[in-house]
Amino acid sequence: MSDSLDCEACSLTPLDLYERLAAQGDKVRLLKTEKASKDETDEAVKLLLALKTDYKKLTGQEYKAGSPPTDVTLVTNNGPAATEEEYDFVDPWTVQTSNAKGVDYDKLIVKFLSMKLESKLSFLVYEFTKQVTNVLLYMALFFRDVHQILDAYENKKSFYLYTGRGPSSEAMHVGHLIPFIFTKWLQDVFDIPLVVQLTDDEKYLWKDITPEEAYKYAIENTKDIIACGFDMSKTFIFSDLDYMGASPGFYRNVVKVQKHVTFNQVKGIFGFTDSDCIGKISFPAIQAAPSFSSSFPQIFNGRKDIPCLIPCAIDQDPYFRMTRDVAPRIGYSKPALLHSTFFPALQGAQTKMSASDPNSSIFLTDTMKQIKTKINKHAFSGGKDTIEDHRKYGGNCDVDVSFMYLTFFLEDDEKLEQIKQDYTSGALLTGELKKILIETLQPLIAAHQERRKQVTEETVKQFMTPRKLAFEF
Amino acid sequence: MSDSLDCEACSLTPLDLYERLAAQGDKVRLLKTEKASKDETDEAVKLLLALKTDYKKLTGQEYKAGSPPTDVTLVTNNGPAATEEEYDFVDPWTVQTSNAKGVDYDKLIVKFLSMKLESKLSFLVYEFTKQVTNVLLYMALFFRDVHQILDAYENKKSFYLYTGRGPSSEAMHVGHLIPFIFTKWLQDVFDIPLVVQLTDDEKYLWKDITPEEAYKYAIENTKDIIACGFDMSKTFIFSDLDYMGASPGFYRNVVKVQKHVTFNQVKGIFGFTDSDCIGKISFPAIQAAPSFSSSFPQIFNGRKDIPCLIPCAIDQDPYFRMTRDVAPRIGYSKPALLHSTFFPALQGAQTKMSASDPNSSIFLTDTMKQIKTKINKHAFSGGKDTIEDHRKYGGNCDVDVSFMYLTFFLEDDEKLEQIKQDYTSGALLTGELKKILIETLQPLIAAHQERRKQVTEETVKQFMTPRKLAFEF
């Protein structure tokens, strides 16, 4: 990225630039906190000043932290660029890339303005948690506004976690587990409440299913989420179809968000058109509302000021950019975000995982034999065509799906690094790499299946009952 | 109206024409039921056949009762026609006319496709209720699909009433009472449950007020509504902000409607633009949902098939045309409607009543002295400039606001007719006419104020608690 953004050439809106500036301001603060080298700090400050100049050029206003530009439209044009050889398309419903290595996150960062969790910043997270693990390094590449969460933590104030799932079918695959494994890790580390939203209303609006079917999927998915091991005394899982009708606090926040977002804005952010139903158009407010603690009066005793940290896949960012734009205008703090990367399909990062294609992923209901067969038969390989060539030239970890899966599920960093070296050198053959993945996934999924069996209807009901959680604020 | 509609020239959409056809079919059925003259019946049948021809021409499909045309957009263009000398503009937020006689209901009928409650049809309502009174004749000029309600009544099946109020301020004027007096009359005659929706969410979305203010207005307005004398054991009054968060049945119906209405449709019906907030855009579904009995499981024991009759001012019709379009597509019956006419401002039918202008109407909080002064000073007169001219030429009841008010509030038809004759002939002077109105309104409002004083917070709470009503279905 050049030091200054050529705003006339680029498609940044005033709000994009404002957010970019806010992020750069955070970065400079962080560099100073961690006493980074003078050169590095100077460079960051230089970019900050350049951005401020651009901002004034674009908006006619001086940049002021905490005051977003007025009368601006939120716009992200993230559609496929037909003229480019490679393209990524990412929105909350579609993740597509033409690149076997997967989505280009560096480009996505620029588009979504998330901040990369570089090693120098993970230092702070280390300070924060005293527990840097590969979970964080591999799963959460980006974050936004974690500063306020750090502040809360430093001042021994609490915060809460919010994540979600769109229950589009009963079948969840291993990729769906990633945000939940990560969220559970955060809950364990910080010992804080968690709310999990099941957007059964969204799935009813988007898909050709009845509300009853969507609700049934929500319940079935809840069992898989519970099986991830969340602490019942600190976790509230809710279906929108149920909870909207069970909490005036939630609906009040939904309406507040709905009042402060125009059709123009959701058109820009989500690509809605005039032919879309009004349910889709207003839905983003329903995903936004759980970011505010007053949506859960039973948990937070009616307090409106408990900060929220949202671990989620990066494709959900458009919802939360909208949320972060609205928050200060309705008197709330912006939620902080930790974005996890996408989980690739077995056939490769440029193909789509689909619940209707059982071979596109490993499902949580697969037998041990199915796991083995699918990986051996369908996992895209970065190896060479013959053993001779593989030994001679080595394999390519960047496009090898088995290796990508291991980066998510193998907890031992050193072992992972060794695998990478061996596969790249040709010492490790594709069949051997696949065997490691099979032996990693099989016990993990077997254990999940065992825990899911233990989840009774009564347990589901308890998790899904609006109630006080075991936490004092 | 000519026998056949020139569809290329007129702005009727396929759906408008479909509804017109359905209404005409109802009319033919009614004429046959009441054994009307052969000529009259033949004429109605002739129009029905002409409409069917038009329908086929416009849609390429044969008209089939109960099957609305597919792929059509709901459009009503009811805006001011700048080239015409006189214009009416009617939507749920604005009623404007350049005509001192008030809105031209005959034109509005064509636009809104409501059916005029002519004397021959009121015969059926008489049969229905055995109680034709001036209330019905003056207040409810139009109806839609009352056929299903007549069917239910004939088969000794029940139905329920649904009306509402937008709580835009604490101050209600006498005009606001009209739909409620009419609704109470219907409840008394039919002995059925009533639900009253207070759209505090709508007022928050449309006006510059907080949700707390809108909710407060809802509570204050509820007191005035209760003071109309509704039977607590059969009446449920609810604020949207509260009830949405208290009933999963209600939200499920809201989402169902939201899935089946596009932005294009609400743009056509309500004139929304891309700059409107997504709350406004999705709100119509919230006004639609109470038309379906499953929105009130506590009242109807979860039954989805109890027919609904909606008495309301005709400007609310756009909401219910949308509702009637959606109903069959989500498996529900269309609500029936009884439209009351607008209540004019003191300054004349072509001016606007406004809560911010205390002289534009008689408010329910006015003192007896204020009522007298306002009528004497501000009620637009149809009399002549001098007593001599008035005696000679007579007054004009069509534009005299005092006379218009009496048509709403004077229960004695014969006396009203006598007043009309005397004022038109010049025998009755303007001052005398105003005195009659003052003497009619003062005791009515004094009694209302007395009843409102009796309404305690506890009574409000009881009316607004979701509960079983004293009725068996």
The Cα A236–Cα A300 span in angstroms is 12
Nearest CB among B211, B259, B260 relative to A256 is that of B211
User: Could you tell me if A142 and A109 are in contact, meaning their C-beta atoms sit under 8 angstroms apart?
Assistant: yes
Cβ atoms within 10 Å, residue A4: 14
B201 close to A (CB below 8 A): yes
Cβ atoms within 10 Å, residue A414: 8
The pLDDT of residue A138: 44
Cα-flanking dihedrals φ and ψ of residue A324, to 5°? Answer: -70, -30
| Domain at B357-453, CATH from 3.40.50.10790, 1.10.10.10, 1.10.1040.10, 1.10.240.10 | 1.10.240.10
CB atoms A264 and B275 under 8 Å:
yes
Task: Enumerate the β-bridge partners of residue A348.
Answer: A345
The Cα A29–Cα B228 span in angstroms is 64
Q: In terms of Cα–Cα distance, which of A395, A466, A415 is closest to A195?
A: A466
Query: Residues of A with CB below 8 A from B242's CB?
Result: 248
Give, rounded to a whole angstrom, the gap between the first and last alpha carbons of chain A.
42
B71 close to A (CB below 8 A): no
CB atoms A245 and B246 under 8 Å:
yes
Q: In terms of Cα–Cα distance, which of A345, A290, A354, A296 is closest to A316?
A: A290
A393 close to B (CB below 8 A): no
Q: In terms of Cα–Cα distance, which of A202, A151, A119, A255 is closest to B199?
A: A255
Does B219 score more than 90 pLDDT? yes
The pLDDT of residue B214: 97
Among the ranges given (A84-98, B116-130, B227-241, B369-383), the one the predictor scored with the smallest mean pLDDT: B116-130
Q: Of A73, A253, A255, A273, which to mutate for an interface test with B (greatest number of B Cβ within 10 Å)?
A: A255
A to B CB pairs, distance under 8 Å: 126
The pLDDT of residue B123: 40
The pLDDT of residue A154: 65
CB atoms A261 and B277 under 8 Å:
yes
Domain B110-345 coded CATH 2.40.50.140? no
The pLDDT of residue A140: 47
Please give the residue that has the higher pLDDT: either B114 or B328: B328
Handedness of CA B436, B437, B438, B444 (dihedral sign): positive
DSSP track, B25-36: HHHHHHHHHTT-
CA distances from B156 to A467, B149, B214 (A): 45, 10, 40
Query: Residues of A with CB below 8 A from B275's CB?
Result: 262-264
The pLDDT of residue B284: 98
**pLDDT (average), residues B382-391:** 94
The pair of three-digit structure tokens given for residue B296, joined into one six-digit string: 């009130």
B470 close to A (CB below 8 A): no
CB atoms A277 and B260 under 8 Å:
yes
The Cα A359–Cα A371 span in angstroms is 10
**pLDDT (average), residues B443-460:** 96
CB atoms B285 and A279 under 8 Å:
yes
Nearest CB among A242, A247, A259 relative to B205 is that of A259
The Cα A322–Cα A283 span in angstroms is 12
State how beta strands B194-198 and B235-239 pair: parallel
**pLDDT (average), residues B149-172:** 84
* Burial per residue of A19-29, b for 16 or more beta-carbon CB atoms within 10 angstroms, e otherwise: bbbbbbbbbbe
Q: In terms of Cα–Cα distance, which of A249, A35, A103, A374 is closest to B211?
A: A249
B281 close to A (CB below 8 A): yes
The pLDDT of residue A6: 33
From first to last of its 473 residues, chain A has per-residue pLDDT tens of 333 333 332 345 666 677 777 777 777 777 777 777 788 788 788 878 877 877 777 677 778 776 666 543 322 333 333 334 556 666 666 666 677 776 665 565 555 444 444 433 444 454 444 443 444 444 445 556 666 776 676 677 789 999 999 999 888 999 888 889 888 988 887 889 999 999 999 999 999 999 999 999 999 999 999 999 999 999 999 999 999 999 989 999 999 999 999 999 999 999 999 999 999 999 999 999 999 999 999 999 889 999 999 988 878 889 999 999 999 999 999 998 887 777 888 998 777 677 678 888 999 999 999 999 999 999 999 999 999 999 999 999 999 999 999 988 887 878 999 999 999 999 999 999 999 999 999 999 999 999 999 999 999 999 999 999 988 76
The Cα A370–Cα A172 span in angstroms is 15
Q: Who's near A376: CB < 8 A, 6+ residues apart?
A: A431, A434, A438
In the β-sheet with B115-116, what is the strand arrangement from edge to edge? B115-116, B140-144, B336-340, B308-313, B160-165, B194-198, B235-239
**B24-63 pLDDT, tens digit each:** 777 777 777 767 778 878 878 887 887 787 777 667 777 8
Q: Output DSSP code: residue A136.
A: I
The pLDDT of residue A414: 85
A211 close to B (CB below 8 A): yes
State how beta strands B194-198 and A88-91 pair: unpaired
The pLDDT of residue B137: 43
The Cα A325–Cα A339 span in angstroms is 18
The pair of three-digit structure tokens given for residue B45, joined into one six-digit string: 């049948």
**pLDDT (average), residues B324-338:** 92
What is the H or E stretch that residue A194 is in?
strand A194-198
User: Could you tell me if A140 and A186 are in contact, meaning their C-beta atoms sit under 8 angstroms apart?
Assistant: no
Query: Residues of A with CB below 8 A from B267's CB?
Result: 274
What's the gap between Cα B162 and its chain centre? Answer: 11
Q: Who's near A333: CB < 8 A, 6+ residues apart?
A: A148, A305, A307, A308, A327
CB atoms B262 and A242 under 8 Å:
no
* Burial per residue of A107-125, b for 16 or more beta-carbon CB atoms within 10 angstroms, e otherwise: ebbbbbbbbebeeebbebb
Cα-flanking dihedrals φ and ψ of residue A421, to 5°? Answer: -60, -45
CB atoms B255 and A279 under 8 Å:
yes
Q: Of B263, B273, B319, B329, which to mutate for an interface test with A (greatest number of A Cβ within 10 Å)?
A: B263
CB atoms A274 and B251 under 8 Å:
no
CA distances from B303 to A291, B159, B332, B472 (A): 36, 12, 11, 12
The pair of three-digit structure tokens given for residue A200, joined into one six-digit string: 């059964």
A44: left (phi over 0), alpha (psi -120 to 50) or beta: alpha
Break chain B into its structural domains and give their ranges: 6-85, 110-345, 357-453
Burial of A292 per CB tally in 10 Å (0-12, 13-18, 19+): buried
Q: Determine the residue of chain A that is closest to B206 in CA distance.
A: A259
Query: Residues of A with CB below 8 A from B244's CB?
Result: 244-245, 248, 251
The pLDDT of residue A90: 62
The pLDDT of residue B145: 63
CA distances from A416 to A134, A178, A397, B54, B433 (A): 10, 18, 11, 74, 96
**pLDDT (average), residues B339-361:** 79
CB atoms B263 and A256 under 8 Å:
no
Q: Percentage of chain B surpassing pLDDT 90? A: 50
| Domain at A6-85, CATH from 2.60.40.2580, 1.10.10.10, 1.10.287.10, 3.30.1330.60 | 1.10.287.10
B343 close to A (CB below 8 A): no
The pLDDT of residue B352: 66
Question: B22-31, long-range: CB within 8 Å, 24+ apart, which pairs?
Answer: B22/B65, B22/B145, B23/B113, B23/B115, B23/B144, B23/B145, B24/B48, B24/B51, B25/B65, B26/B115, B26/B145, B26/B147, B27/B115, B27/B121, B29/B147, B30/B121, B30/B124, B30/B147, B31/B120
B216 close to A (CB below 8 A): no
B207 close to A (CB below 8 A): no
